[in-house]
Amino acid sequence: MSRDRESERTLAGIGLVVLAVACFAVLDTTAKLSTSAVPILMAIWFRYAFQAVATTLVLLPRYGIAVLKTEHPRFQLLRGSLLLTSSALAFLSLRYMPIAEFTAIVLIAPLVVTLFAATVLKEEVSPLRWALVAGGFAGTLVILRPGGTVFSWAILLPLGLVFSNAWFQVLTSRLARTEKPLTMHFYSGWVGTLIASVALPFAWAPLPAWHWWAILCLMGFMGTVGHFFLILAYQRAPASTLTPYLYGQIGFAMLTGWVMFAQVPDLTSLLGIALIAVCGAAGAWLTVRERKEPIEPAES
């Protein structure tokens, strides 16, 4: 591939990531809006059912039953369960927290993955990476500080989400070595739908007005399209190049939170948000630098 062609693919990947995080910000906004009138389990079920049906309608005609082929069905089930758990914690968090602060806390997940890589997977982590992890956690503590706008028992919800999402990312990284991204996307939608369907009869309730159905459809559409954009982005550029742009979701979240709910972080929270974004983006840049370094030959 020529250098110009590679640059075009990288720029396309970056553009798709920006579109994806914009979709995710709208998804979070509609999710927060829905919690005022729609039972949370019902909203979660609708979000996954929309993704599952839309993914099936797009993928099956094009790829046939080949999209169902997986070498690790149990891991696909676990991955889908982790994603459903993350979604449930996200919906609960958004009921009680401003969107911008919630988004910033969730985006420390890549830093938590580094922590897991060192403690669970026994991978070597450089001192600089440890410093970035510490900085990300410091930013989180600034946002969650006593006396802050989000300090309450509800702060446990996004923290639980961070750890479930970190395990989801670790498992996704392992499965990506043998599984196709579209196959993983297919299973994550259907696993979430089927598990949520078990409890749906106990949570179903008539909606007070038709526009709530439109909000649920928009939520499902944004989640589905956002994940498709993300898959297309990673097909065009390496994750280490694209990861810094994921933090653009914080900016979109601040915008939608201000427009829809008149929520603006205070100056101290903005400092914490900036610290998380800088540490996360720096971690991605460090990954790029490490991969460009030549590999030293082993001693004989």
Tens digit of each residue's pLDDT, the chain (300 residues)? 566 677 778 888 889 989 999 999 999 999 999 888 888 899 999 989 998 999 899 888 888 888 888 888 999 999 999 989 988 999 998 888 888 888 888 877 777 777 776 666 666 767 877 788 788 878 887 877 766 556 667 778 888 888 888 888 778 777 877 888 888 888 988 999 999 999 898 888 888 888 999 999 999 999 888 888 887 887 787 766 777 788 888 888 888 888 888 888 888 888 888 888 888 778 766 765 655 443 333 333
Q: How many CB atoms lie within 10 A of CB 10?
A: 16
Please work out, in degrees rounded to the nearest 5, the angle formed at the alpha carbon of residue 225 by the alpha carbons of 66 and 67: 5
What was the pLDDT predicted at 296? 35
Q: Copy the structure tokens of residue 21.
A: 């995080």
pLDDT score recorded for residue 291: 54
- CB of 23 closer than 8 Å to CB of 229: yes
296: which DSSP letter? Answer: P
Tokens matching residue 52 = 């599952």
State the burial class of residue 106 (Cβ atoms within 10 Å of its Cβ: 0-12, 13-18, 19+): buried
Determine contact, residues 162/216, Cβ cutoff 8 Å. no
Cβ-based neighbours of 21, under 8 Å, separated by 6 or more: 226, 245, 246, 248, 249, 252
Report the C-alpha gap between 7 and 105 in whole angstroms: 32
Question: How confident is the model at residue 219, as a pLDDT?
Answer: 92
Angle between helices 267-292 and 127-143 in degrees, nearest 10 = 160
What pLDDT score does 23 carry?
Answer: 93
- Report DSSP state, residue 300: -
